[in-house]
């Protein structure tokens, strides 16, 4: 599990809140990380769940064929073939971008010492989406879910968070521009959905975020 304290060095201008029509409410935080420094060497490794052999790594940003190959490696989670998943240990990012900067930014915004653990890779083809769901984990210290979208060419697939009265969206495609890692955090108890992907392949990694004691 990755940990970070709010005092860590961070790139504050790249972090913003999910703003809503009500100034009292924030439905989460989002930001980007360019593929520079240690992130210039990030590689995604995946393997089909039913075999032990690991595929070759995919350098970021993912080109169209690489993103499509990741999609074909993953398995449908039960809601149709447009969205597919891999679970730990069938994927890995090396080095992990959360350790390289995202967690520091999030710790600063939450003003807490936080930890994060990857648990799912999602790949969305055209039409792939997630219907509205709510984070309901009862794990001790659970704060919410962090989604990191890997840079690739796609459109659509915005993350929408709501609390019943307000709604806010984060456009991963616009934020990433196919070149940067785009991330969004939505807290426990907030409803969220992923709108349908219009074109290309969206690949993201989800992390559970916890408050450290």
The reported pLDDT for the residue numbered 26 is 62
The reported pLDDT for the residue numbered 137 is 82
The reported pLDDT for the residue numbered 55 is 62
The reported pLDDT for the residue numbered 121 is 96
Domain count, the chain: 1
Paired residues of 145 in beta bridges: 186, 208
The reported pLDDT for the residue numbered 78 is 54
Separation of alpha carbons 178 and 47, rounded Å: 24
Q: Residue 95's domain is classified under what CATH number?
A: 2.60.120
Best CA proximity match to 147, nearest among 193, 189, 178: 193
Backbone angles phi, psi at 56, to 5 degrees: -65, 155
The reported pLDDT for the residue numbered 146 is 94
Per-residue pLDDT of the chain (213 residues; tens, 9 = 90+): 544 444 333 333 333 433 333 333 467 888 888 899 888 999 999 987 655 555 668 999 999 999 999 998 888 865 557 999 999 989 999 989 888 788 888 888 888 889 999 999 999 999 999 999 988 788 899 999 999 999 999 999 999 988 777 788 899 999 999 999 999 998 888 899 999 999 999 999 999 999 987
Its pTM stands at 0.84
Separation of alpha carbons 76 and 126, rounded Å: 14
The reported pLDDT for the residue numbered 1 is 56
Question: CA-CA distances (angstroms) from residue 143 to 99, 138, 185?
Answer: 18, 10, 10
Q: Are 33 and 102 in contact (CB under 8 A)?
A: yes
The reported pLDDT for the residue numbered 42 is 92
Separation of alpha carbons 93 and 205, rounded Å: 9
What string of DSSP letters covers the chain?
Answer: -EEE-TTS---GGGEEEEE-SSTT-EEEEEEEEES-GGGGG-EEEE--TT-SPPPPPEESSP-HHHHHHHHHHSB--SS-TTEEEEETTSEEEES-TIIIIIHHHHHHHHTS-EEEEEEEEEEE-TT--EEEEE-----TTEEEEEEEEEP-SEEE--EEEE-SS-EEEE-HHHHHTTTEEEEEEEETT-EEEEPPEEEE-EEEEEEEEEE--
The reported pLDDT for the residue numbered 11 is 33
Q: What range defines the domain where residue 128 resides?
A: 2-211
The reported pLDDT for the residue numbered 16 is 41
Question: CA-CA distances (angstroms) from residue 95 to 23, 45, 56, 64, 170?
Answer: 37, 11, 15, 22, 25
């Amino acid at each position: 599990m990755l940990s970070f304290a709010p005092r860590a060095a961070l790139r504050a201008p790249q972090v913003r809140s999910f703003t809503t029509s009500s100034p009292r409410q924030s439905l989460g935080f989002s930001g980007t990380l360019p593929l520079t420094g240690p992130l210039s060497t990030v590689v995604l490794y995946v393997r089909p769940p039913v075999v032990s052999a690991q595929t070759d790594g995919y350098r970021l940003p993912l080109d169209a064929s690489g993103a499509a190959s990741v999609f074909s490696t993953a398995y449908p989670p039960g809601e149709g073939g447009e969205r597919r998943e891999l679970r730990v240990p069938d994927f890995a990012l090396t080095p992990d971008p959360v350790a390289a900067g995202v967690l520091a930014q999030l710790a600063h915004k939450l003003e807490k010492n936080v930890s994060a653990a990857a648990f799912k890779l999602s790949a969305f083809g055209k039409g792939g989406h997630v219907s509205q769901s709510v984070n309901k984990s009862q794990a001790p210290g659970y704060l919410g879910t962090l989604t990191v979208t890997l840079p690739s060419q796609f459109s659509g697939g915005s993350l929408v968070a709501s609390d019943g009265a307000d709604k806010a969206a984060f456009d991963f495609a616009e934020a990433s521009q196919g070149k940067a890692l785009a991330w969004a955090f939505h807290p426990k108890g907030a409803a969220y959905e992923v709108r349908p992907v219009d074109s290309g392949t969206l690949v993201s990694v989800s992390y559970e975020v916890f408050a450290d004691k």
